[in-house]
Chains A and B, each alone.
Chain A
Amino acid sequence: MEAAGESLRDTELRLGLPGTDAPEKPASTVTRGGKRALPEDDEDGYAKSNKSSEEEEQGEGDLCCQEPPAAKAQVVGWPPIRSYRKNSLHARKVEGEAAGLYVKVSMDGAPYLRKIDLKVYKGYKELREALDDMFKCFSLGEFPRKEGCSGSEYAITYEDKDGDLMLVGDVPWEMFISSCRRLRIMKGSEARGLGSRH
């Protein structure tokens, strides 16, 4: 994942995001995939763009700061804010001198929680390493290095702004840190379901 604060690189990353392949929430996989735009699907895209606010938020988050619009994108250019302003604010918020982005981290079975500053990490790899380090005294096994590591006992999940439990690693790093409210390291049978999802 790219370093924070490189707003142009971030937008490249978002273009590279296989947005139609990797849904932000499992529930919307079908609609997202369905929006890959052959012209016939644009009608679907239009109809769905009038749907629930949930999907629109995803649309915003995913696509708002993209550069040249992918014809396949759904809500490009919404909200109607000049890219100059978006880039300006975004760069400043992420680099920013505001106090860090502290979130609680809980691990199933551990007696106490920890707090970490998400801004300190450049990407998912560093985050996993840091969590590994922080919680190794409690764990019996390795943390999953990537999703789908079979046999891993743990999955790193987070609670987002909507209160939903999400698997860490699906969305671009920037989007993750702006929507992550707390982290939860799940273990055991719950984790197996999520960790071996792919």
Chain B
Amino acid sequence: MGRWTEAAAAGGGASAASSAGPPCTPLPLPASSPGGAATMAFSEEDGSNGGASEASEEREAPGRRRRLGWAATAWLTFYNIAMTAGWLVLAITMVRFYMEKGTHKGLYKSIQKTLKFFQTFALLEIVHCLIGIVPTSVLVAGVQVSSRIFMVWLITHSIKPIQNEESVVLFLVAWTVTEITRYSFYTFSLLNHLPYFIKWARYNFFIILYPVGVAGELLTIYAALPHVKKSGMYSIRLPNKYNISFDYYYFLLITMASYIPLFPQLYFYMLRQRRKVLHGEVIVEKDD
């Protein structure tokens, strides 16, 4: 009986049929003559073609490149360039304000229109996931964008007294640096010319920026609490004909508490992604 095993060699290959079972490594088995060794390859690519969001990356097996139509590629390229530009403008405005005024008071007011515009525009990222031109799950993108929208519209926009808090500057700086890095990363990936330092920045800056941003956000919400309690804003009391009540103050407390389980999960996820992408580690995820 003959025995025919594969020898490992570098080269390109198409992937084999993947099974419906547990995450099975697709075996690229290109056709080759029976006498020779079948080649196989496994290109571990940084397959962030369409751009995944901050804390969750591509779910597909590496090596499976997304095939985007020209329209989707064009749109995503435009979108990512526009967002990079927008956050750059924000950053420059903030720096100039501080250089001219020497204080952070009034900083939020001067950038609020730009911030609201570009952060709200990011809602489109959920649509990108919905229509499948970006490989991130809708849920993850939704959570990401929603938390930003929440901070911008339901906290800093609505609760004016806290706009001059230092904590606001803290998260604004974190967001700005993060977003400029993230959007330029996606832009370069789409153009297939990703400079290593952008990839390095994307997978290293978060180590500091994430905790800084979270601290800024939590401190800001905390500062807002007394104002919310006093004004009773965004709240419904009983009795009313729909028999429901909502207390924004307690909602904010619960939101702050929810950072405790959520933040570590996202942070460690990014750390795992970092090890995979920058150091080529093979990380075997626990089988759910």
Are A and B associated in one complex? no
Residues of chain B at the chain A interface (Cβ within 8 Å) = none
